């Protein structure tokens, strides 16, 4: 009985290890068309990358810069593309 339990636990651990990690993906052209006006309206003039973060899910904009040079990490809703969080970098 103990051996069956240990084998089951070992198999479950291997499945967890071998399961593929779901990586974030870049925003599509259609999504970017909706995100950029929101960023500009909030005062952002440039940014590094826009990606869909599956952990949220939300869009994440890395190193968004305002006219004063300050850098921010911005998160946007996947449903209405509005800003849900801004964190100064």
Q: What share of the chain is helix, strand, coil (3-state, %, to 5)?
A: 35, 35, 30
> Which residues 6+ apart lie within 8 Å of 84 measured at CB?
58, 75, 76, 77
What is the rounded distance in angstroms from the CA atom of residue 7 to the CA atom of residue 63? 47
Q: What is the mean pLDDT of each run of 10 residues along the chain (89 residues)?
A: 49 43 82 98 97 91 97 97 96
pTM for this structure?
A: 0.73
pLDDT of residue 4: 52
pLDDT of residue 20: 44
């Amino acid at each position: 009985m103990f051996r069956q339990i240990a084998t089951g636990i070992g198999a479950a651990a291997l499945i967890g290890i071998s399961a593929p990690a779901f990586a974030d993906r870049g925003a599509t052209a259609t999504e970017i068309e909706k995100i950029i006006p929101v960023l500009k309206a909030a005062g952002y003039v440039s940014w590094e990358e826009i990606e869909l973060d599956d952990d949220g899910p939300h869009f994440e904009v890395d190193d968004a810069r305002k006219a004063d040079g300050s850098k921010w990490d911005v998160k946007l809703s996947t449903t209405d593309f509005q800003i849900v969080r801004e964190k100064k970098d």
